[in-house]
Amino acid sequence: MTSAFPPSMLSPRVLIPFMLTGAIWGSTWFVITGQIADVPAAWGVFYRFLLATPALFALAAAMGQRLKLTRPEHLLALGVGIAQFSGNFLFVYHAEQHITSGIVAVMFALLMVPNALFARVFIGERVAGGFIGGSLVAIVGVALLLMHEWQAAPLGGNVMLGIALAVGGMLAASIANVVQANPTGRGVPMVSFLAWAMVYGLVFDLVYALLTAGPPQVPDGWRFWAGTAYLAIIGSVVTFPLHYNLVRQIGAGKTAYNGILTVCVAMGLSTLFEGFVWDALSAGGMALALVGMGLALRSKSR
């Protein structure tokens, strides 16, 4: 008999995937910068999921999961695929052309806010009062980091466009996170569902790339393909099933906790490899963002 209570955050089946997804996704923000340096962002997204999709189907088959979906399940996979594997990633890849990858990661850590709001609308999850206060503190912290980014931007840089694109990606990801946890989504084996969602996202990515970036551009450098393989296999095939299982086990709000670890890893890599320079404004913003996220998520977990 399945327990009516969610597992503890400290149980190995929650803690291990929680830490893995946070650490891996923290590294992917920086790897993306190498992808958009060699090809248009749209083709970078397409190549990532061109590698990830068959690997995800192979994983589903190896796990013995059913690959045939019903019509309602396919419709849900279509919606999640376009939101998660197209909208989210297209927005993110384009955003990183304008603002530092670590800053995009910090903004995405605020995914907990739309996650909680959409969860309330779509699946009736309650939002605790203290969550709002903590979220406001985190938002102020992110605003200070964005002010730092604005001041440090090179002449002619379009920070506002980068911010708008990152927000678009965050909203798309949040809709996918929450909608897939509805009763139809919960009835589908996770990896099979994600594989089909990725198919729909891949088709959309291909059409978008052809329309906006022209014919395929195929880099011949090994670094591009090594980065693409890392993003496809480690950053997608390994992490997305872990992530969405966490959403189903402990809820979208608690799962967003791993955004704190993601931010720390991403900002560390930005400091080491992208020349991000800390000052009082950025350090204060980072501290407020982390404290606010912790307060908001601690309140929601109660």
pLDDT digits (tens, 9 = 90+) for 245-257: 887 787 766 776 7
Q: How far is CA 299 from CA 6, 116, 215, in A?
A: 16, 12, 49
Mean pLDDT (the chain) is 85
Give the percent of the chain with pLDDT over 70: 90
Is the pLDDT score of 2 beyond 80?
no
DSSP-assigned letters across all residues of 241-281: HHHHHHHHHH-HHHHTTHHHHHHHHHHHHHHHHS-----HH
How far apart, in whole angstroms, are the C-alpha atoms of residue 135 and residue 291?
Answer: 9
Using 50, 70 and 90 to split pLDDT, how confident is the model at 227? very high
Is the pLDDT score of 298 beyond 50?
yes
- Where does residue 156 fall: left (phi above 0), alpha (psi -120 to 50 degrees), or beta otherwise? left
Q: Which of 102-111, 165-174, 291-300 has the highest average model confidence (pLDDT)? A: 165-174
What pLDDT score does 159 carry? Answer: 83
- Of 119-128, 183-192, 198-207, least confident by mean pLDDT is 119-128
What pLDDT score does 80 carry? Answer: 94
CB count in 10 Å sphere of residue 34: 18
How many angstroms from the chain centroid is the CA of residue 241? 13
Q: Which of 9-18, 34-43, 226-235 has the highest average model confidence (pLDDT)? A: 226-235
What pLDDT score does 146 carry? Answer: 82
How far apart, in whole angstroms, are the C-alpha atoms of residue 255 and residue 278?
Answer: 29
What pLDDT score does 186 carry? Answer: 79
How far apart, in whole angstroms, are the C-alpha atoms of residue 22 and residue 197?
Answer: 22
Using 50, 70 and 90 to split pLDDT, how confident is the model at 166? very high
Do 286 and 149 touch, CB atoms closer than 8 A?
no
Do 131 and 292 touch, CB atoms closer than 8 A?
no
